[in-house]
Amino acid sequence: MLGRHRYLIIGILAFVFVYFFLWSSSNELPKPVTGVIQPVVSVDGNYNAQSPFIFIGGIPRSGTTLMRAMLDAHPDIRCGEETRVIPRILALRAQWKKSEREWKRLQEAGVGDSVINAAISSFIVQVIAGHGAPAPRLCNKDPFTLKSTVYLTELFPNSKFILMLRDGRATVHSIISRQVTITGFDLNDFRQCLTKWNAGISVMYDQCQSVGSDRCLMVHYEQLVLHPEKEMRKLLNFLDIPFNDSVLHHEALIGKDISLSKTERSTDQVIKPVNLDALTKWVGNIPEDVVADMANIAPMLKVLGYDPYANPPVYGKPDDIVIKKTQDVHQNGNEWYKKAVAVVIDPSRVDKPV
């Protein structure tokens, strides 16, 4: 009886969520789905809440796509594109918890923590396992999932988390210049976006700290770009996965072992090798009043190790291989531009070679 109840709740949650997702994106009623959806399992049938999933997150435009592409290059790991649905189901549960009245109604109906947790964990496992090929280790990259790191550690006790950190000034400049739509961010107001960045990364940082360094690793985007081998060795050691040189050459596997979404805003950039171009594009492109008040607007900059008054900042000296790859991107700009245009849905947003 308990098993039937559990699957009923899973079905209801799945239906409600899919309806919510489709209705929020369209004015049309969702069309009925026919057929039977078979649960997804690994080759050995062991994908479940005990699986050692890897979750990658951070504020959008902080290097999450680069990180997942580099991990996707490893023969033992499969990440894939953003699912977009996992953060939404987590947000839906957070809404229920926030409303005392709604949560009480659920409790009275017998839909308590254990039932909801079982349903949500099953939903997440199905999505992660089902949207790509099987692999010894599966990972998920949906930036805002790491706002729920503590909860996810409860659902998936063997999972590990990667929090991507980036200079907030660079992140916000990228969000605005590339017109990345994020709920709550006013793309016409640099100060407001920095405030939103500060609030968002503060939550993720606290969540990561709460679960401990054995479960959540913070990776600075700048250091990943400057010293990719050092950072990836550290990361793979954290994940208990043997180092493989392929993670340093993800660009060679795009379209082969690594699939990209044509709709993700980072796609045209991650087809290129790791390079230095994006590190300081923000310098000179922030309103003067915001620059002058930077420490007050975004106190998390200092917490994360960035100097709020450094313009330009000194992130460090790049490895020789990174310098070489950056030169290749510049010297063969037209070729990389053609590759970028071929993998995006809107070619007009791809930066043309200088």
Task: Tell me how far apart the alpha carbons of residues 183 and 232 are, in angstroms, rounded to a whole number.
Answer: 31
- How is the chain split into domains, by residue range? 54-343
- Report the chain's mean pLDDT, rounded to a whole number: 85
Tokens of 130: 């089902």
Catalytic entry in 82, 231, 251, 264? 82
DSSP category for residue 273? P
Q: What is the pLDDT of residue 18?
A: 46
The CATH H-level (homologous superfamily) assignment of domain 54-343 is P-loop containing nucleotide triphosphate hydrolases (3.40.50.300)
Q: How many CB atoms lie within 10 A of CB 59?
A: 28
231 is catalytic: no
Task: Tell me how far apart the alpha carbons of residues 310 and 281 are, in angstroms, rounded to a whole number.
Answer: 14
Q: Which of 66, 61, 58 is nearest to 275 (CA)?
A: 66
Q: What is the pLDDT of residue 264?
A: 58
How would you write the pLDDT of the chain (354 residues) with one tens digit per residue? 444 444 445 554 554 444 344 333 333 333 333 333 344 444 445 789 999 999 999 999 999 999 999 999 999 999 988 999 999 999 999 888 888 888 888 888 888 888 889 999 999 999 999 988 899 999 999 999 999 999 999 999 999 999 999 999 999 999 999 899 999 999 999 999 999 999 999 999 999 999 999 999 999 999 999 999 999 999 999 999 999 999 999 888 877 767 666 565 566 677 788 999 999 999 999 999 999 999 999 999 999 999 999 999 999 999 999 999 999 989 987 886 777 677 667 776 667 776
pLDDT digits (tens, 9 = 90+) for 124-156: 999 999 988 899 999 999 999 999 999 999 999
Print burial letters for 169-194: b (CB count within 10 Å at least 16), e (below 16). Answer: bbbbbbbbebebebeebebeebbbbb
Q: What is the DSSP code string of 166-179?
A: --HHHHHHHHHHTT
